[in-house]
Structure formats: C-alpha cells, structure tokens
Chains A and B, each alone.
Chain A
C-alpha cells in the first residue's frame, strides 16, 4: 500500500544549456563587430552645424583634429563654462595650437606634408571670435588646408 508514490513529473525539467555557448558567442561577435574605437574622449560639447555642400575627408592619417566647444558639465567646475579648445585628450589654450599643429606635421612623412588637413570640429554655439583666433594660429603655423566639420543636413528650416 504505497501511499507515498513518487511523483512521476518531478517538477519542471531543467532547461537545456546546450545552446548557451552559441548565445554567448553570438553576443560577443555582435559587440565586436559593432564597436567603434573612439580616438579621443570628448571633453567639450560637440554638436556640429548642418551643411549640404560637404566633402568627405579622405586619408585620415593626414588629418589633425581641433575640437572646440563648451566644456562638458563635469569639467565646468575646473575650467569654467566658456568655450574651450581641446587638442588630443586635454584642454588647451589657443596659443598652443601652433605648436601642436607643427608637431603633428612633423609626424607625417615629408612628401605628404602639404596634404595635411586640419579639421575644425566646433560646436555650433561657439562664437566666431574664438574660431578666428584658431584660424590665425593655423595661418601662423602655415597649415592652410582646413575643413569645417559638419553634419549633413539642411542649413535652414528648423528655426
């Protein structure tokens, strides 16, 4: 008289983990493929203005970047909220640009130096006074090819 019969179902069966590696690898490869390496950490706000007549920058190795904009929220206590220039990973003064551009140019092999382009990535809220100062520094450094970095989009319409 076995009253205590063992339950035949034994509860929910364990989930098969055979496909777990597949899922893990799928996720791994997905992130590997979609990840973009950022060259610099932006310290400044950088909403680029719109433009339609744009040219793609080719030969990235010949391009030097200058970032301009208001410092991001977390840096305001140290550097204030006025628009600043960022070179590589640090804030810089305008008069440091000349030296920076010259150093960057030295790094390019000699035959290609005239092709060097400086890309100015400025925030749309920056005033022209600062941009002009940067342009003057670039002229002093004799780096005359510049590119105003923009997004593709209509210039007017959303105002």
Chain B
C-alpha cells in the first residue's frame, strides 16, 4: 500500500517585512554544514562523512559551553555552543547537490535532535519521546529546540 510519510519542515515566510534583523549570534553557536555539488560535506570547516554527521551534531547541541543547561551531558568545550537554546544549525546547499544527499543530511540533523529528545524523555518519564503526552512532548522539545537555518543555495562549486 502507498503510505505517505516523510520529513516535515517549515519554510520561512517570503514577506521581507516579517523578517527582522537577525540578532547577533556568536560564531561558536552556529554549526555550519556545507554541501557542495559533488555531494561532499564540509562541517565546521572540515570534510566529514555523512555517517559521522549525527554524532557531530549531537556533540555540538549537547555541548553546554556556559553551563546553564542542567541536563546536558556534553563536553563543555568553550569553542562549541553555549547551550541547546542558542545552538543553531546552518545548512547551506549548492544548486548541484543531489536531493538524495540533501534528504540524508536533513534526516541526520533531525535524528540528532530526536536522539537527544529521546534521551531526555527516557530520563524524565522513562518512555520514548513518541509515547509522551502532547504537553510533555512540548516540554522536551523546548529542552532541545530545533533550530535549523537554511541559507538560499549558492554556487559553491567544487
């Protein structure tokens, strides 16, 4: 049977008036993922395999650099994100990137968030995130808010 399923995403509004000037964001709070037209990944200025992306994203989100996140288990590296609320994933594609890889990257980023949320759901309520009530889901979501920014694609070449 043809079951419709996929990755849900929300697009930013088109209306330029609605977009406020972005507040200044520290570079260490941004996790940059670049994908070029040869389907190669550049994560935080280093080549990376898609297999390692999930792990790297979790490390970034869970870093807890300023110590304000009580439930994080990260390394508290001063070079990485301050806390999950400030951590932003920035994804930049090339126009020549294949859709397959784009979906893979989106999937791995979503998986990183889901893994962290699942961990917190297990810790707080002892069940998987999907089995929580709506209010509880919202609470756990707020612990790791999903902030994925997609720049308009550029010709990175490569």
Binding site for B on A (CB under 8 A): 36, 49-57, 60, 63, 117, 119, 122-129, 131-132, 135-136, 138-140, 142, 144-150, 152, 155-156
Interface centre among A124, A128, A138, A144 (most CB of B within 10 A): A128
Binding site for A on B (CB under 8 A): 1-15, 50-51, 93-100, 102-104, 106-108, 110-111, 114, 152-153
Q: Are B99 and A131 in contact (CB under 8 A)?
A: yes
Whole-angstrom CA separation of A36 from B153 in the bound complex: 39
Whole-angstrom CA separation of A49 from B114 in the bound complex: 20
Q: Are A147 and B7 in contact (CB under 8 A)?
A: yes
Supposing A124-B98, A128-B93 touch, asked if A144 and B107 sit within 8 A by C-beta, the answer is no
A48 CB to nearest chain B CB (Å): 8
Q: Which residue of B lies closest to A122 (CB)?
A: B99
Q: Are A53 and B111 in contact (CB under 8 A)?
A: yes
Supposing A126-B99, A145-B10 touch, asked if A132 and B2 sit within 8 A by C-beta, the answer is no
Q: Are B7 and A148 in contact (CB under 8 A)?
A: yes
Interface centre among A52, A122, A125, A152 (most CB of B within 10 A): A52
